[in-house]
Amino acid sequence: EAGVTQFPSHSVIEKGQTVTLRCDPISGHDNLYWYRRVMGKEIKFLLHFVKESKQDESGMPNNRFLAERTGGTYSTLKVQPAELEDSGVYFCASSKEGFYGYTFGSGTRLTVV
Amino acid sequence: KNEVEQSPQNLTAQEGEFITINCSYSVGISALHWLQQHPGGGIVSLFMLSSGKKKHGRLIATINIQEKHSSLHITASHPRDSAVYICAVNTDTGTASKLTFGTGTRLQVTL
């Protein structure tokens, strides 16, 4: 089966611009998670979708971040407007219902300059 | 203080050495995961534990629920084991729950 796909792999944008990250989970995985690693820190949870619904968005930093999951398939994470502190690596992971295992994407490295 | 602490932060070993990475957590968990990330690569799940010990090839993971501690051991280490090893836990009950991560241990195995 195909893995979790994220794109772009890298993005460099200027402060104030908008960026949209995309995650394609494994087909049939109802659970989709977004995480972020800021340089030098541990990976932190952003939000969790179950199908198209936001199950937990307690980790979203502020209202500049908007996540969607169209039809319970792929998900997008939009940052608008981007700030310098948004730089980091954004990971997506998916899992099947009733199963603890997670499959991670390769991440999107976002640099805001 | 992080809910999940790993030690050491950095580790250099020579090929063939036995390696131990430790993870301690301060919260109740339903499962603990060991993950691996090679430089420039994605995150790969190595083990999921809720009790006892698991072995896969040269990798062994153990967990002591009472002491809130887990270890990842690598026997006969090889340069291809060089990676960041990350401990993460599920603190919520149920299988569909988010992970809380440690900061990772950067392992470098030299010839």
Q: Is A74 on the interface with B (CB under 8 A)?
A: no
Percent of chain A at pLDDT > 90 equals 88
What are the average pLDDT values for consecutive 10-residue runs of chain B, which has 111 residues? 92 97 94 92 92 96 96 97 96 77 96 92
pLDDT band at A96 (very low <50, low <70, confident <90, very high): confident
Separation CA A103–CA A32 (nearest Å):
10
Query: Residue A2 is inside which H or E element, if any?
Result: none
Separation CA B65–CA B25 (nearest Å):
10
- Looking at the predicted structure, is the pLDDT value of residue A88 above 80? yes
Averaged pLDDT score across all residues of chain A = 93
Q: Is A106 on the interface with B (CB under 8 A)?
A: yes
Q: Is B4 on the interface with A (CB under 8 A)?
A: yes
- Looking at the predicted structure, is the pLDDT value of residue A99 above 90? no
Provide mean pLDDT across the span A86-107.
89
Say whether B45 and A102 touch across the interface (CB within 8 A): yes
Over residues A23-60, the pLDDT tens digits come to 999 999 999 999 999 988 999 999 999 999 999 999 99
Sheet holding B59-64, edge to edge: B4-7, B19-25, B69-74, B59-64, B52-56
Q: How far is CA B25 from CA B5, B54, B63, B85, in A?
A: 6, 19, 11, 16
